[in-house]
Amino acid sequence: MKIDVILLPKETAALDLSDSVCIVLDIFRATTTIVTALANGCKAITPALSIEDAQKLASQIGAVLFAGERQSIKIEGYEFGNSPFEFCKEKVTGRNIVMTTTNGTIAIKAAEKAYRTFIGSFVNAKAVCRQAKQHGKDLVIVCAGTDGLFSLEDTLCAGLLVQLLKAECEVTLSDSALAALLLYAQAKDTLVETAVQSRNGKRLYDLRRMDDVEYCLSADLFTIVPQYIAGKIVLENK
């Protein structure tokens, strides 16, 4: 298996992903929140690139809840922002959600032409690796980045996924995959202290959301694997 790590969604434009499995990462906080919401019984999440796009999609779907943020602040009038703690069972069970975020939903849409597109995070790291390798395809890990720039926390999670896969099967790593692996190996014992220094980490710290930071860096809280298919994120059929 070849493993590549794409550090920004725009880099997918030059790739043919049709025969590759993609894992999309936006650790602070979209993909962590998506995993959490589906684990808590959400029926489906439809990613949207903009607020206008979210409205159009909602009109097609029917009864939905809106989730989204801009620069980590909940969009006015939306039921949810982007904190995983907002998406409790009482609020999301059986519901359809339309979500638009600063970075994460852009990354998910960028990977939509892959053979399979899975939603990954620290909180489902082992499960998403297990599911991805079962397809016998090369793997592309897509980091959402932050405002179009490199994201430390996404790359740290990519490094964890590379480590897990490398321990279980024969892999060939791109330079960026190797770099992510080395970065994670260096930081894994001080993960929170390291990741909170990132731009998103500092922003969440300033917003007094260290609970989100710590949660988003917690490994293997769930065994579910969300899949982006036909415009919606649902649980992967095993």
pLDDT band at 205 (very low <50, low <70, confident <90, very high): very high
Q: What percentage of the chain reaches a pLDDT higher than 70? A: 99
**Contact criterion met (CB below 8 Å) for 204 and 212:** yes
Q: Summarize the confidence of residues 174-187 as an average pLDDT.
A: 98
Question: Helix (H, G, I), strand (E, B), or coil: what is residue 56?
Answer: helix
Average pLDDT over the chain reads: 96
In 3D, which of 201, 217, 17, 218 has the Cα closest to residue 108?
17
- What is the distance between the alpha carbons of residues 51 and 165, in angstroms, rounded to a whole number? 37
Residue 207: pLDDT over 80: yes
Tokens encoding 159:
């490094």
Q: Where are the domains of the chain?
A: 2-230
Query: Angle at Cα 46 formed by Cα 220 and Cα 10, nearest 5°?
Result: 80
pLDDT of residue 119: 98
Distances (CA, A) of 95 to 59, 117, 118: 15, 22, 20
Residue-wise pLDDT tens digits, 117-168: 999 999 999 999 999 999 999 999 999 999 999 999 999 999 999 999 999 9
Q: Summarize the confidence of residues 83-107 as an average pLDDT.
A: 97
pLDDT band at 66 (very low <50, low <70, confident <90, very high): very high
pLDDT band at 238 (very low <50, low <70, confident <90, very high): very low
pLDDT of residue 237: 58
What pTM was estimated for this model as a whole? Answer: 0.96
Residue 102: pLDDT over 80: yes
Largest CA distance in the chain: 49
pLDDT of residue 46: 98
pLDDT band at 65 (very low <50, low <70, confident <90, very high): very high
pLDDT of residue 23: 98
State the number of CA atoms in the 13 A half-sphere of 174 facing the CB. Answer: 14
The torsion of the CA quartet 123, 127, 132, 133, rounded to 10 degrees, works out to: 130
| DSSP bridge pairs for 91 | none
Residue 56: pLDDT over 50: yes
Distances (CA, A) of 150 to 4, 8, 20, 143, 194: 15, 7, 22, 8, 15
> Concatenated DSSP letters for 63-121?
S-EEEEEETTEEPTT-SB-S-GGG--HHHHTT-EEEEE-SSHHHHHHHTTTSSEEEEE-
Options 3.40.50.970, 3.90.1560.10, 3.30.460.80, 3.40.640.10; which CATH number does 2-230 get?
Answer: 3.90.1560.10
